[in-house]
Structure 1
Amino acid sequence: MASHVTPPLRPVAAQEPLFAYLRQMWRRRDFATALPMEEVRARHQDTLLGNLWHVGNPLLTVLVYYVIFGVILNASRGVDNYLLWLTIGVFSYNLTSKTVLAGAQAITSNEGLIRAVQFPRALLPVSVTFSHIITFWFELGMLSALSILMGLYPNPRWLAIPVFLVIQSAFNLGAAMIVARLNDGFRDVAQIVPFLFRLGTYASGVMFPLTRIDERVSGPLALIVKLNPFSSYLALYRWSFLGTPLTGFTLGVAGGWAFVALVWGFRFFRRAELRYGRG
C-alpha cells in the first residue's frame, strides 16, 4: 500500500515566508505605483495653479527661510550661492520629512482597504514613498533651472543624483515603515513625528552650515551631529549641484543609514503584518 504523507499543518493566519512575501509585493507592484500617480494628480486639482504647487509650496518655504536666516540673521555668511544652497537643503529635507510623516498614516488611514483586500501591507509605505519621489522630481527640475540661472551648468556630478535619490529613498521607506507600525499601535506617534522633524531642521544644516554647530559642541554630541542621516543626504545633493566637499565618511553615513533603516524597518513592519487593520 502506498503511504500518504500529510503535509504539515500551517495556521491560517501564519505569516508568509520572506521570499513568498516579496514575490507577492512584486506581483502587486502596480498597486504601489498607480495609487501614488493618481494621488499626485489629484493633490492640487482644486487649486488655480494645480501641480505648480508641488514646487510652489517648498519655494515659499525657501523664501521665508532666506529672508529670516540669509538676510536678517546673516546665516549666508561664508556660503557661496546661498539661495541655491538653501533650496537644496529645504527640498532634500522635505523629501524625508514628508515621506515619513505620510508613512505614519499609511496603515491608520487605509484600514478600510486593509480589511477589504488581501495584499502585502508593506505596499502601503512603499506607495507613500513612491508618491513623494514623483513630487521630488518636480523639485529637482526647479533646482536644475535655478542652478543654470546662477551660472552652474550641468556637469558629470549631476549623474550621481538618481543614485543619491535611491539611497535617500531607501532610508525614507525604512523610516516610514517604522513609524507606520508605531502609529498603528500608538496614535500619538503621528503628532510627535512633526515636532521631531521641526527640531531636526535646525540640527541638519538646512539653513546654516553644520560647521557653526561643530564649533560649539564636542565629544559624543559632536559625533551625533556627524552621524546625522539628514545632513548627509543634504551633502550629497549639494556636492552634485554646487561642488561642495563630499567625504567618504559622509557617503558611508548616508549609505549605512539607508541600509539599516530599510532592512530593520521592513522586518519591524512585517512582524505586525497580521495585526494591521484590526483596530
Structure 2
Amino acid sequence: MSQVLHTPPPRPAEAEDDLAALAARHGLTVSGARPSLPAYIRQLWARRHFITAFATAKLTAQYSQAKLGQVWQVATPLLNAAVYYFIFGVLLGTKHGVKDYIPFLVTGVFVWTFTQSSIMAGTRAISGNLGLVRALHFPRAALPISFALQQLQQLLFSMAALVVILFCFGIPVGVSWVLTIPVLFLQFVFNAGVSMIMARMGAKTPDIAQLMPFILRTWMYVSGVMFSIDATLRNSNLPHSVEVLLEANPAAVYIDLMRFALIDSFHAHQLPHHVWAFALGWALLAGVGGFVYFWKAEERYGRG
C-alpha cells in the first residue's frame, strides 16, 4: 500500500501573514480603512473647494421652491425675532431694563440661529446623505463642515438686515465692529465641532435628529437670546454654580460677544469674566475634540 502524505493547511494566522505580505508586495491597502489623522487632515484640505462649492449649492437650493427665494434667508430669523419680541419682550416684559432691546434681541436671534441650524444640519449630515457617502470616496468630515459653512454664509446674508436695524435705532458704526470677525470665526469652529459630534451620533442613531429640536429649544431658553443674563443674575439669588453655568454657556458667550461688538449700549461690564477665554476654549474643545471624535469612526460611515 502506498501512503499519501498530505501537507497540513496553513493555520489562520499564517494565512493572514501570507495575505498581508502579498498585499504589501503589490502596494495594496485595505479599502475604506481609516487614514492617519495627519493624512486625513491633508485629504480634507485637498477637498476644500468641494466643501465651499457644496455649501454654496445647498444654500442656493434651500429656498429654490419658494416664490420669494433667497429673501427667506433674512425673513425667517426676522419673523422669529418678531414673535420673540411680542411674547418675551411685551408679554413677559424682558425688554425692561435692556437698552436697545430690539437690536439686542435680533442680534441674539441671528447668532443663535447660526448655532442651532449648524447642529441640526450636522446631525443629518451622514444619515441624510448616504447616497453620496456610499458612491464617492472623500473624507466624510467634509459634510458636517460644509453644512456649518452653509449656515455661516446664511448668517452673513442676515447680517445685512441686522446692520439696517442697527442704523434704524441710531446705533453708529464703531471700531468694535471689527470684533465680529474673530467672534464669528470662533463660533464657526465651535459649531463645526459640535456638528461633527452630532453627525457621528446621528449616523449610528438617526432617531437623534427627532430629539434635537427639543434639546436645542431648551438650550436657547437658557442662552440669553430673549433676555439679559447679566440683568437676571444681578436681580436674583441663584446658586453660584447656576451662575457659572449660565455665564460659561457657549451659545451665550458668542451671543454676548457679538452684542458687545455691534451695540454701543452693551458694555464690557455686562460680559462674563474671562469671556474671550471661554470663547476660545469652547472653540478648541468642540473643534479639535469633535474632529477627532468624528475621524475615529471614519471607516464605518455609510456601512450597512
Q: Which has the larger radius of gyration?
A: 2
Show the counterpart of 1:234: 255
Q: Does 1:141 align with 2:185?
A: no
The amino acid of 1:33's aligned partner reads T
Identity %: 36
Q: Does 1:81 align with 2:100?
A: yes
Show the counterpart of 2:289: 264
Secondary structure in structure 2 of the residue aligned to 1:205:
coil
Show the counterpart of 1:177: 196
Show the counterpart of 1:117: 136
Q: Does 1:274 align with 2:295?
A: no
**Superposition deviation, residue 235 in structure 1:** 0.6
Q: Does 1:210 align with 2:229?
A: yes
**Superposition deviation, residue 219 in structure 1:** 3.0
Query: After the TM superposition, which of the residue ranges 160-169 and 12-21 deviates more from structure 2?
Result: 12-21
Kept after mapping to 1: 8 A contact 2:105/2:226: yes
- 1:95-134 alignment to 2 at 5 Å? 95-134=114-153
Kept after mapping to 1: 8 A contact 2:247/2:272: no
- 1:237-252 alignment to 2 at 5 Å? 237-243=258-264, 244=266, 245=268, 246=271, 249-252=274-277
**Superposition deviation, residue 68 in structure 1:** 1.0
Query: After the TM superposition, which of the residue ranges 97-106 and 46-55 deviates more from structure 2?
Result: 46-55
Q: Deviations over 1:175-206 (max 9, x none)?
A: 00000001111122111211111001110101
User: CA 1:189–1:216 in structure 2 vs 1: closer, same or farther (change >3 Å)?
Assistant: farther
**Superposition deviation, residue 58 in structure 1:** 0.6
List alignment gaps of at least 5 residues for structure 2. 1-23
Show the counterpart of 1:30: 49
User: CA 1:37–1:150 in structure 2 vs 1: closer, same or farther (change >3 Å)?
Assistant: same
The amino acid of 2:122's aligned partner reads G
Q: Does 1:93 align with 2:112?
A: yes
Q: Does 1:61 align with 2:80?
A: yes
User: CA 1:220–1:8 in structure 2 vs 1: closer, same or farther (change >3 Å)?
Assistant: farther
Q: Does 1:151 align with 2:170?
A: yes
Q: TM-score of the superposition, structure 1-length normalised?
A: 0.94
The amino acid of 2:296's aligned partner reads R
**Superposition deviation, residue 248 in structure 1:** 5.2
**Superposition deviation, residue 8 in structure 1:** 9.6
Q: TM-score of the superposition, structure 2-length normalised?
A: 0.86
**Superposition deviation, residue 141 in structure 1:** 0.9
Kept after mapping to 1: 8 A contact 2:144/2:196: yes
> Please, which of 278, 284, 292 is the counterpart of residue 253 of structure 1?
278
**Superposition deviation, residue 221 in structure 1:** 2.1
Show the counterpart of 1:43: 62
List alignment gaps of at least 5 residues for structure 1. none
Q: Does 1:224 align with 2:239?
A: no
The amino acid of 1:232's aligned partner reads V
**Superposition deviation, residue 16 in structure 1:** 1.2
Show the counterpart of 2:220: 201
What is the root-mean-square deviation in Å for CA atoms of aligned residues? 1.8
Work out the CA distance in 2 between the residues paired with 1:192 and 1:252: 31
The amino acid of 2:91's aligned partner reads I
User: CA 1:221–1:42 in structure 2 vs 1: closer, same or farther (change >3 Å)?
Assistant: same
**Superposition deviation, residue 145 in structure 1:** 1.1
Work out the CA distance in 1 between the residues paired with 2:259 and 2:111: 10
